[in-house]
Amino acid sequence: MTIEIKPLETGTPIFVPSPDPQHPRVLLATRLFNDGHIDIEEASHISGETPDTLEKFFEQSGVLPRKRVLVCGGAGFIGSNFIHHILEKYPYYSVINYDKLTYAGNLENLRNVEKSPRYKFIKGDIADTETIEKLVQNEKINYIINFAAETHVTRSLLLRADEFLRTNVLGVHSLLEVVKRNPQVEIFVHVSTDEVYGSLDLDSQDSFTEDTAFQPNVPYAAAKAGGDMLCRSYHNSYKIPVIVTHCSNNYGPFQHPEKLIPNALFRALRNQPITLHGNGQHVRDWIFVRDHCEALDLILHKGKPGHVYNVGADVEKNTHEIARTVLKYLGKPEHLITLVDDRPGNDLRYSISPQKIKKELGWDTTVSFEEGIALTVQWYENNISWVDAIRERDKEFSKYI
Ligand X SMILES: NC(=O)c1ccc[n+]([C@@H]2O[C@H](COP(=O)([O-])OP(=O)(O)OC[C@H]3O[C@@H](n4cnc5c(N)ncnc54)[C@H](O)[C@@H]3O)[C@@H](O)[C@H]2O)c1
What amino acid positions are annotated as catalytic residues? 194-195, 220
Nearer to ligand X, 19 or 76 (CB): 76
CA separation, residue 84 to residues 45, 258, 292 (Å)? 27, 22, 13
Residue placing its CB nearer to ligand X in the complex, 30 or 167 = 167
Name which of 78 and 141 has its Cβ closer to ligand X. 78
Nearest residue to ligand X, by Cβ distance, number only: 76
Q: Which is nearer to ligand X, 94 or 193 (CB)?
A: 193
- Give min distance, CB of 283 to ligand X, in A: 14
Q: Whole-angstrom Cα distance, residue 63 to residue 74?
A: 27
In the complex, least distance from residue 59 CB atom to ligand X, rounded to whole angstroms: 32
State the nearest-atom distance from the C-beta of 258 to ligand X, in Å. Answer: 9
Min. distance of Cβ 267 from ligand X in angstroms?
19
CB nearer ligand X, residue 259 or residue 267: 259
In this structure, what are the phi and psi dihedrals at residue 308, rounded to the nearest 5 degrees?
-120, 140
**Rounded Cα gap, residues 75 and 199, in angstroms:** 29
Q: Interface residues with ligand X (CB under 6 A)?
A: 72-73, 75-79, 99-102, 104-105, 125-127, 147-151, 167, 171, 191-193, 224, 247, 249-250, 256
Q: How far is the CB of 259 from ligand X (least distance, A)?
A: 7
